[in-house]
Amino acid sequence: MKDKIQSEACKKLIGSMLEALRALDVRTRHRLALHNYDLSPEQVLTLFAIHENEGFTMTELAHKVLRDKTTITRMIDGLEKINMVFRIPDKRDRRRLLIYQTPEGKRRVNEVKSWRPTIPEMASGTLSSKELLRAQKVVAQFAQNLLKE
């Protein structure tokens, strides 16, 4: 009986997480459009990752933002075309390209940072800090369980 209840609860948790991700995507797209940014939420996530740690290789960046290398390559190509990032050869291994933000990319990230905090405020709604911390721990454990071999 416990296994069936646990399985159903797990399915509901997955459904709720997917629903929350869709809602976050919709809200982020709305905010980007409101500010006339021609960027997708995925591009913003990638820019934020690069902003936090410039000099990623494509593989490292793909791992950081949970995308495959092909998707990241296309995304970086697009961000490079609109002058948000650039690539330079690694001094230790010229076959590897390192990704950095342009001044325009940095400016854009800082602009997004100025309105980005409103999204977590909206998402948390009437939840207490204790409820949010508990939810974070549950989701983190859920992710760890999924990543175990």
Report the run of H or E that residue 46 belongs to, with start and end. helix 41-52
Burial class, 62, CB count within 10 angstroms (exposed 0-12 / middle 13-18 / buried 19+): buried
Q: Which tens digits make up the pLDDT trace of 127-139?
A: 899 999 999 999 8
- Average pLDDT (62-77) is 92
pTM over 0.95: no
145 pLDDT band (50/70/90 cuts)?
confident
Interval 100-124: pLDDT, tens: 999 999 999 998 888 766 777 888 8
How far, in Å, CA of 36 to CA of 27, rounded? 14
Position 28 scores a pLDDT of 85
What confidence tens digit (pLDDT) does each residue in 2-51 have? Answer: 688 888 888 898 899 999 989 988 888 888 888 888 888 899 989 999 99
- Tell me how far apart the alpha carbons of residues 73 and 128 are, in angstroms, rounded to a whole number: 40
Give the domains, in start order, of the chain with CATH numbers.
Answer: 2-135 (1.10.10.10)
121 versus 75: the higher-pLDDT residue is 75
